[in-house]
Amino acid sequence: MASSEIKSGALVSLQDLHPSSPYFKQGASLRVTGKLQEYSVETAIATIVDGSDSLKINTQRLRELSFRVGSIYQFIGELLIQPDNEAVLQARVGRNVDGIDLNLYYQSLQLLRQFQANHLKNPST
pLDDT digits (tens, 9 = 90+) for 86-110: 999 999 999 999 999 999 999 999 9
Superfamily for domain range 10-121: Nucleic acid-binding proteins (2.40.50.140)
Instruction: Specify the pLDDT at position 123.
Output: 61
CA distance 36 to 67: 8
| Average pLDDT of span 44-61 | 96
Length of the chain: 125
Q: Phi, psi (5° rounding) for residue 13?
A: -95, 160
pLDDT surpasses 80 at 2? no
CA distance 32 to 14: 7
Q: Is the pTM of this model over 0.85?
A: yes
Q: Where are the domains of the chain?
A: 10-121
